[in-house]
Amino acid sequence: MGERVIAIDGPAGSGKSTVAQAVARELGVAYLDTGAMYRSVTHVALERGIAVTDGEGLAALARDLEIQVGQRVVVDGVDVSEAVRAPAVNGAVSTVAAHPGVRAELVRRQRMWGATHQGGVMEGRDIGTVVFPDARLKVFLTAGEGERARRRRDAADVEQRDRLDSTRPVSPLKAADDAIVIDTTELAVDEVVARILERL
């Protein structure tokens, strides 16, 4: 299924979401924000008092939750679109996402999503390296640190998250060997999108 997937990975503030949505719109294909899935598990864990260090408990929670990611993020029938962006979630999500059991379950669902939609644009940290290593096109977006902080309100958290995401043993944030790397620091969204469409 990977041959119909466009993988867009990169750190927070690199412009992934905006660019991925625009590419999906241009191509008329489905779009999935995989970060919203890790955020959903984290939100419910915080709500239920499951420790962010409890890998087993978090993996069980991930397997148990019904997570729908689309225009809105809906978990077990509850709209959590705003809740998953809360500062508490920003602060905990990278720790939750580092547990192999959590990743195994969410990666499994992401592959299912790819099969159900017959491909599409998927945005995350490990789409090109782990979820769909045979993706049709792999894009890794970067941006200078100052610019990434400017684009985000939670600048301190972003730095910490990038450090955790890049150094975790399982599926660390990094560009796939065959990814095209685009530095978006001085590029407008349209220019980034145009470069990706050109590559296709």
Residue among 15, 20, 22, 38 that touches ligand CDP (CB under 6 A): 38
- Is 138 a binding residue for ligand CDP by CB under 6 A? The answer is no
| In the complex, minimum distance from the CB of residue 146 to ligand CDP, in angstroms, rounded to a whole number | 17
Q: For ligand CDP, how many residues bind (rule: CB under 6 A)?
A: 15
Contact in structure between 40 and 65 (CB atoms under 8 Å): yes
Which string of DSSP letters, residue by residue, matches the chain?
Answer: -GGGEEEEE--TTSSHHHHHHHHHHHHT--EEETHHHHHHHHHHHHHHT--TT-HHHHHHHHHH--EEESSSEEETTEE-TTGGGSHHHHHHHHHHHT-HHHHHHHHHHHHHHHHHTTSEEEEESSIIIII-TT-SEEEEEE--HHHHHHH-S-HHHHHHHHHHHHH-SSS-S---TTPEEEE-TT--HHHHHHHHHHH-
Quote the CA–CA distance of 154 and 158 in Å, as a whole number: 6
Residue among 43, 99, 148, 161 that touches ligand CDP (CB under 6 A): 161
- Is 43 a binding residue for ligand CDP by CB under 6 A? The answer is no
| In the complex, minimum distance from the CB of residue 184 to ligand CDP, in angstroms, rounded to a whole number | 13
- Is 140 a binding residue for ligand CDP by CB under 6 A? The answer is no
Which region, judged by CB under 6 A, interacts with ligand CDP, from 9-17, 22-30, 141-149, 184-192? 9-17
- Is 157 a binding residue for ligand CDP by CB under 6 A? The answer is no
Rank residues 29 and 81 by Cβ distance to ligand CDP and give the closer one. Answer: 81
- Is 105 a binding residue for ligand CDP by CB under 6 A? The answer is no
- Is 97 a binding residue for ligand CDP by CB under 6 A? The answer is yes
Residues that bind ligand CDP in the complex, under the rule CB under 6 A: 12, 16-17, 34-35, 38-39, 93-94, 97, 124-126, 161, 165
